[in-house]
Amino acid sequence: MFRLDQNKTPLFDAVKKYVEDKVIQFHVPGHKQGKGLPELAEYIGYRALEMDANGMEDLDYINNPTGVIAEAEELCAEAFGAEHAYFLVNGTTSGVQAMIMSACSPGDKIIIPRNAHKSVIGGIILSGAVPVYVQPEINTELGIAMGVSVEKVKAAIREHPDAKAVFVINPTYYGVVSDLKSIVNIAHAYGMAVLVDEAHGAHMYFHDDFPLTAMEAGADMSAASMHKTAGSMTQSSVLLLNSKTIMPSTVRQVLNLTYTSSGSYLLLCSLDVARKQMATRGRELLSRTLDLARETRYQLNRIDEIYAFGKELKGTPGCFDFDETKLGINIAGLGYTGYQMEAKLRREYNIQIELADLYNILAIMSIADRRENLKALVKALTEIAHKSNRKGLINSTRIPYHPEMVVTPREAFYSPKKVIRLEDAAGEIAGENIMAYPPGIPVVCMGERITSDIVEYIKVLKSEKCELQGTSDPNVEYIRVLAEPALAEEKITIPVISS
């Protein structure tokens, strides 16, 4: 299957040798193998801080790798079926932004789903690209955005044949997958690059029971969060390239604009070891994970008023396939919001789930999960359901998914702004993003028209004590809007593809 020896960990081996050599350090970091930070070293262990080194000949240099980092990246590229791989220590956010900046110049159009992560908006601001939003399909029963339909993407491409790239999420936070192969074929037929956010799909490369991956589908680039689902440490991700139009030299140049010159060797080593584990044992480990996911979903669906959704969604609008390790649980029938259920599980059962929204909670499963922990989740929800006297669907507030973009995010970012109260914002043009985190999908993006529906939805999120981010005011009582909306309206109006 592999040309290279995937049991090798060249970078990890080099760092281990550096530690074992007991090198006398006259270089950064200043804690000098933990001696300068004993309180932390005694808690996490001196070995971790001994591995916290800096770029040098035997450990290679992250900005221009030619040694062990380059060798580790080559192994990673092969494991993921890509031509090139780039280690990231600033999360998939940096990879998403690098993809957009590698494919688009200022003024270039990029077709993106409106439920994209905030990192996409950051990439658009940095690149100067102009977004053409495609509305995802909506599952009204679950109250969530699904994937984008091939028909809507095709319509956007035909309406904007000069676009340089199409951006796709594979899978969404909830595990929903669009028909990526068909989208790739259509985009390439028009000469457009396909960029894929696989923040929640790094594991899908290593077992045949998962949906098609970006590299398998022929996409040009993908950014995958190894730390989320493939075992590496938080903040470590990988950028994958397999393109006839985007050159490796361009990607490296873009990365060097924003990439730290002091990459964490702890994070880099975790990528090296996680890649080895997934390449050599991924199928075995993920088979066990899938068995647990299926068993747990079955047990949850035996509880009255609870619906753990899964592969039965395949074939519904916006759902071409589904990642079963995303354990989405609709609890609206119990009379709780997802936010209330998240708090209750943590407070009363010491269980922390990944994500909550108004109607659902989401548990992310990985190769690390154990049956006893999943049994604890099932037991807790069973007990809550039996004790609940709040049964009945909660208030059916729906997410406002169709905001109008009046100016581009980049223009909005650099435009003069004023601060107004949230309740006075309807009709204004947003000067900052407002999002619930997680998942980090903006309720309104800078440059979009704020509607009364958006204001009311933000108020609902605030009343549920949802974590809102993006605003200068942490309490979201005030928001920043464009100071001269009348002038701004004359600059650009790009339609949203919704049908």
Q: Are residues 293 and 380 in the same domain?
A: yes
Confidence check: pLDDT of 85 > 50: yes
Residue 288 domain-assigned (yes or no): yes
Predicted pLDDT of residue 495:
43
Which among 61, 64, 95, 100 is positioned nearest to 80, based on CA atoms? 95
- pLDDT band of residue 442 (cuts 50, 70, 90) is confident
Q: Are residues 292 and 364 in the same domain?
A: yes
Portion of the chain with pLDDT greater than 90, in percent: 84
Q: Are residues 362 and 413 in the same domain?
A: no
Predicted pLDDT of residue 435:
85
pLDDT, tens digit (0-9, with 9 covering 90-100), for 212-241:
999 999 999 999 999 999 999 999 999 999
Q: Are residues 380 and 417 in the same domain?
A: no
Lowest mean pLDDT among 5-19, 291-305, 441-455: 441-455
Domain boundary (356, 387, 418) is at 387
pLDDT, tens digit (0-9, with 9 covering 90-100), for 396-440:
556 666 788 999 999 999 999 999 999 999 999 999 999 887 777
pTM: predicted TM-score of the whole model, two decimal places:
0.92
Q: Are residues 415 and 329 in the same domain?
A: no
Residue 71 domain-assigned (yes or no): no
- pLDDT band of residue 486 (cuts 50, 70, 90) is very low
Q: Are residues 380 and 428 in the same domain?
A: no
Predicted pLDDT of residue 399:
67
Confidence check: pLDDT of 391 > 50: yes
* Amino acid letter for position 321: D
Supply the range of the domain harboring residue 309.
Answer: 283-387
Predicted pLDDT of residue 491:
41
Confidence check: pLDDT of 494 > 70: no
Domain boundary (336, 354, 387) is at 387
Q: Are residues 287 and 359 in the same domain?
A: yes
Q: Are residues 320 and 353 in the same domain?
A: yes
Residues 120-138, mean pLDDT to the nearest whole number: 94
- pLDDT band of residue 490 (cuts 50, 70, 90) is very low
Predicted pLDDT of residue 449:
94
The domain that holds 436 is classified in CATH as: 3.90.100.10
Residue 325 domain-assigned (yes or no): yes
Q: Are residues 366 and 287 in the same domain?
A: yes
Q: Are residues 341 and 287 in the same domain?
A: yes
Residues 59-74, mean pLDDT to the nearest whole number: 97
Residue 445 domain-assigned (yes or no): yes
Residues 276-300, mean pLDDT to the nearest whole number: 98
Predicted pLDDT of residue 393:
61
Domain boundary (357, 387, 417) is at 387
Cα 32 to the chain's mean position, in Å?
A: 34
Strands (E), 55-212: 84-88, 109-113, 130-134, 138-139, 144-145, 165-169, 176-177, 193-198
The domain that holds 358 is classified in CATH as: 3.90.1150.10
Residues 80-85, mean pLDDT to the nearest whole number: 98
Residue 473 domain-assigned (yes or no): yes
Q: Are residues 380 and 425 in the same domain?
A: no
pLDDT, tens digit (0-9, with 9 covering 90-100), for 11-50:
999 999 999 999 999 999 999 999 999 999 999 999 999 9
Confidence check: pLDDT of 341 > 70: yes
What is the C-alpha separation between 336 and 357, in angstroms, rounded? 11
Confidence check: pLDDT of 97 > 50: yes
Residue 120 domain-assigned (yes or no): no
What is the C-alpha separation between 467 and 480, in angstroms, rounded? 18
Residue 318 domain-assigned (yes or no): yes
Predicted pLDDT of residue 98:
97
DSSP annotation string for 263-328: --HHHHHHHHHHHHHHHHHHHHHHHHHHHHHHHHHHHHTTSTT-EEE-GGGTTSTT-SEE-TTEEE
Distances (CA, A) of 492 to 51, 152, 283, 353, 431: 51, 22, 49, 41, 16
The pair of three-digit structure tokens given for residue 278, joined into one six-digit string: 């997934």
Q: Are residues 289 and 374 in the same domain?
A: yes
Residue 459 domain-assigned (yes or no): yes
Counting the structural domains of the chain, the total is 2
Tell me what the pLDDT averaged over the chain comes to: 93
Confidence check: pLDDT of 441 > 50: yes
